[in-house]
Amino acid sequence: MSNVQQARETLGARLRELRKQANLTGLELARIAGWDNSKVSRYEHGKQTPSEQDIRIWCAATNAPLHLPDLIASVRNLEAAYLEWKRIQSAHAQKKTGQVESSSKFIRGYDPDLIPGLLQTRDYATAVLRECIDFIGIPDDLESAVRERMERQQILRKGPRRFHFLIAEQALYTTVGDDQIMLAQLEQLIAYVRSSRMALGIVPRMAVFRAPVVNFLMYDRTLVQVETTSAGLSVTQPREVELYDRAFEILAGQSAKGDAARALINSAIETRLHGSDP
């Protein structure tokens, strides 16, 4: 059972307790609220998340106004968790991102901790998405989400688009899955360094701090998508997009490219194989 479903059932149990304390049957509460008879049962058994207005009606009918703020907070937390799942992990979200990518001519991205999604191997992507699902506590749509992420990568081989990805050197060392998964991912990065269809740079660990940045993707010069622990941001305001553009150019100027990038990746591979961090 997902954490979202558990929270929905816990909320339902609290609503049931309030109804019983008010000495109301489910049918009586439904009549007072003007609802279909089955609505009370769906809420109490965690089959459906009540709206904030329905929570207000429930508290009024059961004479429990003191419980209203906490119950509404519970509903909002449930909604946020479900939307976060849809945003980050669901196949629908992956497909929507693919549609944005397909309409763009120039895609740039920076990640300080992980390999960007468009460059991930299947095993690496599976491990990343699995950890995110477990951390957030959301319905498990792993297989579909991984499939959509892999299908998105077709864009790297189609059309006249340009790509420029920057990865902080730390991302080469952040362990995703296990050593075998990491070694396969690092070998694939070396192949991408050689690619004529994209530019790939590694920002060294000792690079001077010059701009406050988190992971982001830029589509042409009109949209920036940023993902944080609890929210996804879509930046379209020209002045804000310009800040990300400036930050990217600073990082690109600091990044190792070509042979220098391959040397950093090979160093990370050697560390995996022999355990000696340079």
DSSP 19-60: HHHTT--HHHHHHHHT--HHHHHHHHTTSSPPPHHHHHHHHH
Buried b (16+ CB within 10 A) or exposed e, 99-127: eebeebeebbbbbbebbbbbbbbebbbbb
Decide which of 149 and 208 is more confident.
208
In the prediction, which pLDDT does 83 show? 56
pLDDT bracket for residue 233 (50, 70, 90): confident
In the listed set 61, 84, 107, which residue is the last one of a domain according to the structure?
A: 84
In the listed set 51, 84, 117, which residue is the last one of a domain according to the structure?
A: 84
- Does residue 180 share a domain with residue 79? no
- Does residue 96 share a domain with residue 63? no
3-state secondary structure of 223: strand
Query: Which pTM was predicted?
Result: 0.67
- Does residue 79 share a domain with residue 102? no
* Dist. CA 24–CA 107, nearest whole Å: 59
- Does residue 218 share a domain with residue 172? yes
- Does residue 98 share a domain with residue 55? no
Angle between helix 91-102 and 68-88 (nearest 10): 50
Q: What mean pLDDT, rounded, does the chain reach?
A: 87
Decide which of 78 and 70 is more confident.
70
- Does residue 269 share a domain with residue 207? yes
Return the beta strands (E) in the chain as ranges. Answer: 106-111, 162-168, 198-203, 216-219, 223-227, 232-235
**Given a cut of 90, is residue 74 above it in pLDDT?**
no
What mean pLDDT do residues 167-195 have? 96
Domain with 29 in it: 3-84
What mean pLDDT do residues 163-170 have? 97
Least confident range from 62-76, 109-123, 199-213: namely: 62-76
- Does residue 115 share a domain with residue 75? no
* Bridge partners, 233 (sequence order): 226
Domains held by the chain: number: 2
